[in-house]
Amino acid sequence: MLVSLNWLKEYVDTDNISPEELAEKVTRSGIEVDNVEYVAENSSNVVVGYVESCEKHPNADKLNLCQVNVGDEILQIICGAPNVRQGQKVAVAKPGAVLPGNFKIKRAKLRGIESNGMICSLQELGFDEKHISKEYAEGIFVFPEDAPIGESVEPLLNSTDAILEFDLTPNRADCLSMLGVAYEVGALLDKPVNLPSEEVLVGEEKASDYISIKVEDEKLNPYYGAFVIKDVEIKPSPLWMKNYLLAAGIRPINNVVDITNYVLLEYGQPLHAFDYDRLDSKEIVVRTAKQDEKIVTLDDVERTLNPENLVITNGQEPIALAGVMGGANTEVTSYTKNILLEAAYFDSISVRKAVKATGLRSESSTRFEKGIDPNRVKRAGLRACHLLEKYAGGKVLEGVVEFDELDRSEKVVEINTTSINNRLGTDINTEEIAKILERLQFNFERNEDHFTVYAPTRRGDITIFEDMLEEVARIYGYDNLPFTLPTGTATAGGLTKRQLLRRSVKNYLESVGLSETRTYSLTSEGYIQKLVSNEVKGLNPEPISLAMPMSEEHKYLRLSVLPELLKTVSYNLARNQYSLGLYEIGTIFVTSEKVLTKQPDEQLRLSGVLTGKWLEHLWQMENKKVDFYLVKGIVEGLFEHLELPLTIIQAQLPDMHPGRTASLLLDGKEIGFMGQLHPGLEKEMDLKETYVFDINMEAVLEAHHHEPSYTQIPRYPSVTRDIAFVMDNDVHAGDVQAVITEVGAPLVKQVSVFDLYQGDNLPEGKKSVAYNLLYQDPEKTLVDEEVEKLYQEIIQAVNEKFNAYVRS
């Protein structure tokens, strides 16, 4: 809502406060003022002049030689504007005037003839385009005939006006009217509000002889008032009204349309003027539209309606879409003589539906949607009649023809000093509260410290105690609230075990070199099925798509974090960032329902992606590329960190390298995978050799139960032995290790691979894997015999199981 301060001053005195101070005050007590703007920049010594004569300049075709009466003298002025004419009243910058941009007007000679001043356009007077009506967009401004010669143009042009832009929250629809703003400002400044005149000279003819009203649905239209005004003269509105409309962002059209708009802004009540003679009937019937009924609205667009839309009809066909826009068939034109003025109350939901259906949003519909004041509907009609009489020469017929089932009662809210202070933490006394209610101009009854407040209908947002609490608090001032801390129930606060564990996982990953990322949960059709872990696939997931996606790129709820993470890698590679170690703990959305009837399972996944060089130490010629075992080490380290038994077995998965992929098993159950991407996918996504891991965090968080506790540190020395086995290439080193561990238990505490050899000195198709075994007996010092015995048992077991022999 754009609030002209000069207009506002008609209702409330703001003389002792600057526009900026007022804006700050309004902002601090309830409505954010986004901007303070002035209609025009300052100028001085510009007056109304009368063009007594206007001839062509003898030496220049495009210039005019004008004699202009400015009251105390007649100035000869040369004017280049194409629209200057004898008999006009114009804005004259006299010699000595200063126009915006510090442009000083001096006497000068133009093509040999003296020019003593300048006839100005509004642009030259520093008006922004939006404050200039269309007819004066080019050329000089022309005043109405009654403009007083010699007077300063500033008050006539409203050029010193400041416009405050109110950013209204949905609850403050009352300030979609100048009167509402006046009540708000009046409360803040502690000033009374002067209401405008609604006086009408009553004619002899009765409006009811001209029209009857029938409303079919009183819920959708509880009030419909029709005024009939005869013999109007369609002409431009008075300059002041045009100025105020422009200040409010509305283009003036003609006096009748302007007056309905003016009252809309003044009272917040939408009005509509029909050309009575084009109605073709003597009745107004308000009803819901028929399916596919058509109306051509004022903007000359044919609209197709449905039974959710309320229409105004002449008994036959629609003449307006209720609360949204009038019909072209009854539009007021320059030939209009008699008008029917509608002042009605339409249900907000029905108007909202009509706006949605047609895509039409108007100043009127906005107000109906947000709710209007039931006590101002008829008064706004009267106010418009008053203005039509005054500025359109209309004769207002006696009486308003109306349908009236409107509830105009005020909401009653009980408050008392104690309850207000208890909730605010303040110490406001009863007198102060009474004073605040008076400033707000709310009616109330007071009984000691108890108030019965009758919330005015203009403030539809006030219905309960808390609403009144806010009114008192905001006028009292939030700055005056003390700072206190909660004194109630003591609560320990803190993170849950799950949250702590998640932080611990993050810390681990970051300490081994990974960077956390955050990617989008919404992905595209092409990626929704990509890199979905086996155990997720086992849940038969159906892709979940948005009902109305904004783009194909963000259409589905993801089933794997990896695709979006890989897009991040592509993004970085394109920016020459080749070495990356990224991870994300993110949600995937799993359902087996084709049509979602309940919330999907939200599963936390831990996904990582690594590519490029891991470590690079150039001068020592060290260069470590990311490879399978690096990633495996990170994953194993994580499970070691969590003290969870992880098994990693060879696997084959779509979109993964067939020979470099492994499944991750926790207690024998699959919880994810790791490995290199399939080169095909790498190529498709513009990636280089890229490794990923993807882990079901839910399973990890659930399985984790480790509480560290002290174990006796061994007092007896340990013994180590090495064995190298020669085995077939396709035997898995891990399987051999498992057998060694199993046979060696409990004395063999630890088995680790320390060498892998393939090549010379070995038969074709064979490899040698060397293991280091650590023997430890917590009870005593080991004797050679038992170490040796176990050693031989291990060799035998491995030999039997894998046909592997000890390399000598």
Hey, what are 534's tokens? Answer: 């086996």
| Burial profile 703-726: b = 16 or more Cβ within 10 angstroms, e = fewer | bbeeeeeeeeeeeeeebebebbbb
Residue 617 binds another protein (CB under 8 A): yes
In degrees, rounded to 5, the angle at the alpha carbon of residue 451 between the alpha carbons of residues 449 and 454 is 170
Work out which of 137, 202, 349, 649 binds another protein, going by CB under 8 A.
349
Q: Answer whether 480's CB lies under 8 Å from 432's CB.
A: no
412 binds another protein (CB under 8 A): no
Place of tokens 């707000």: 440
615 binds another protein (CB under 8 A): yes
Instruction: Determine, following the binding rule CB under 8 A, whether residue 291 of this chain makes contact with another protein.
Output: no
Residue 137 touching another protein (CB under 8 A): no
Quote the least distance from Cβ 419 to another protein, whole Å.
10
CA trace torsion 73, 76, 78, 84 (10° rounding)? 60
Judged by beta carbon, residue 110 or residue 512, the one nearer another protein is 512
Question: Is residue 600 close enough to count as binding another protein by CB under 8 A?
Answer: yes
Q: Which of 137, 481, 649, 753 binds another protein (CB under 8 A)?
A: 481
204-243: contacts with another protein (CB under 8 A): none
Q: Which is nearer to another protein, 365 or 768 (CB)?
A: 365
CB of 438 to another protein, least distance (A): 20
Beta-bridge partner residues of 622: 617
Please report how close the Cβ of residue 526 comes to another protein at its closest, in angstroms: 19
Q: Does 647 bind another protein (CB under 8 A)?
A: no
Binding region for another protein (CB under 8 A) out of 103-111, 120-128, 490-498, 754-762: 490-498
Stretch that binds another protein, among 336-344, 462-470, 692-700, 767-775 (CB under 8 A): 462-470
Extended beta strands in 529-579, E state: 544-545, 556-557
Shortest Cβ 266–another protein spacing (Å): 24
Choices 5-13, 142-150, 379-387, 574-582 (CB under 8 A): range interacting with another protein: 574-582
Tally Cβ neighbours within 10 Å of residue 509.
Answer: 22
CA pair distance 41, 157, nearest whole angstrom: 12
Q: Which of 587, 718, 772, 799 binds another protein (CB under 8 A)?
A: 587
Nearer to another protein, 170 or 708 (CB): 170
- CA dist 229 and 542 (Å) reads 66
What is the distance between the alpha carbons of residues 472 and 415, in angstroms, rounded to a whole number?
10
How near is the Cβ of 566 to another protein at its closest, in Å? 11
> Is there a contact between 615 and 622 (Cβ–Cβ < 8 Å)?
yes
Contact 408, 373 (CB under 8 A): no
Closer residue to another protein (CB): 65 or 514: 514
Nearer to another protein, 578 or 716 (CB): 578
Return the range that interacts with another protein (CB under 8 A); candidates 105-113, 375-383, 481-489, 794-802: 481-489
Q: Around Cβ 637, how many Cβ atoms within 10 Å?
A: 14
Residues 6 or more apart from 326 whose CB is under 8 A from it?
A: 272, 274, 297, 298, 319, 320
How crowded is residue 647: how many other Cβ atoms within 10 Å of its Cβ?
16
Do residues 141 and 90 touch, judged by C-beta distance below 8 A?
A: yes
CA atoms within 13 A on the CB side of 447: 5
Q: Which of 623, 750 has the CB closer to another protein?
A: 623
Nearer Cβ to another protein, position 148 or 513?
Answer: 513
How far apart, in whole angstroms, are the C-alpha atoms of residue 326 and residue 363?
Answer: 13
Q: How many CB atoms are located within 10 Å of the residue 230 CB?
A: 16
Q: Does 170 bind another protein (CB under 8 A)?
A: yes
> Measured between alpha carbons, how far is 14 from 12 in angstroms, rounded to an integer?
6
**List 61, 62, 538, 547, residue binding another protein (CB under 8 A):** 547
Assess contact for 207 and 343: CB atoms under 8 A. no
Token pair in block for residue 685: 């996504």
| Closest CB 219 distance from another protein, rounded Å | 14
Minimum separation from the CB atom of position 492 to another protein (A)? 7
Which of 597, 711, 712, 808 forms a contact with another protein (CB under 8 A)? 597
CB of 339 to another protein, least distance (A): 32
Binding mask 7-46 for another protein (x = CB under 8 A): --------------------xxxxxx--------------
107, 235, 503, 789: which one binds another protein (CB under 8 A): 503
Q: Which stretch binds another protein (CB under 8 A): 195-203, 221-229, 272-280, 544-552?
A: 544-552
User: Can you give the length of the chain in residues?
Assistant: 808
153 binds another protein (CB under 8 A): no
User: Which residue carries 């993807």 as its tokens?
Assistant: 694
Round to whole Å and give the CA distance between 723 and 773.
8
**In the bound complex, what is the minimum distance in angstroms from residue 491's beta carbon to another protein?**
4
Q: Which is nearer to another protein, 619 or 710 (CB)?
A: 619
| C-beta closer to another protein: residue 165 or 205 | 165
Q: Are 804 and 798 in contact (CB under 8 A)?
A: yes
**Distance separating alpha carbons of residues 54 and 64, to the nearest angstrom:** 6
| Choices 269-277, 439-447, 499-507, 781-789 (CB under 8 A): range interacting with another protein | 499-507
CB-based burial, 299-326: b 16+ in 10 Å, e otherwise:
eeeebebeeebbbbbbeeebbbbbbbbb
Q: Name the 3-class secondary structure at 322.
A: coil
Task: Report in angstroms how near the CB of residue 313 gets to another protein at its nearest.
Answer: 26
Minimum separation from the CB atom of position 230 to another protein (A): 40
Task: Please choose, from the candidates 726, 716, 718, the residue with its C-alpha nearest in 3D space to the C-alpha of residue 744.
Answer: 718
**Which of 238/600 has CB closer to another protein?**
600
Site for another protein in 55-74 (CB under 8 A): none
Q: Residue 184 Cβ, how far from another protein at the closest point, in Å?
A: 11
Closest distance between another protein and the C-beta of residue 58, in Å?
Answer: 53
- Using the minimum distance from each CB to another protein, give the nearer residue, 103 or 478: 478
- CB nearer to another protein: pick between 548 and 713: 548
CB of 66 to another protein, least distance (A): 44
What is the distance between the alpha carbons of residues 341 and 336, in angstroms, rounded to a whole number?
13
Q: Is 621 in the site for another protein (CB under 8 A)?
A: no
Q: How far is the CB of 124 from another protein (least distance, A)?
A: 29
* Among the residue ranges 72-80, 100-108, 539-547, 711-719, the one whose residues contact another protein (CB under 8 A): 539-547
Does 308 bind another protein (CB under 8 A)? Our answer is no
Asked if 169 touches another protein (CB under 8 A), the answer is yes
Query: Residues 350 to 389: which contact another protein by CB under 8 A?
Result: 352, 369-370
> How crowded is residue 23: how many other Cβ atoms within 10 Å of its Cβ?
23
Contact 284, 322 (CB under 8 A): no
Between strands 805-806 and 89-99, the pairing is unpaired
Give the integer Cα–Cα distance in Å for 198 and 388. Answer: 11
Picking from 371, 396, 348, 399, the residue whose alpha carbon sits closest to that of residue 213 is: 399
Nearest to 298 by CA among 282, 312, 284, 283: 312
Q: Could you say which residues in the range 505-524 bind another protein, by CB under 8 A?
A: 506, 509-522
Of residues 483 and 710, the one with the C-beta less far from another protein: 483
Instruction: Pick between residue 307 and residue 778 the one whose CB is nearest to another protein.
Output: 307
Task: Compute how many residues bind another protein; rule: CB under 8 A.
Answer: 97
> Between residue 418 and residue 457, which ones bind another protein under the rule CB under 8 A?
422-426
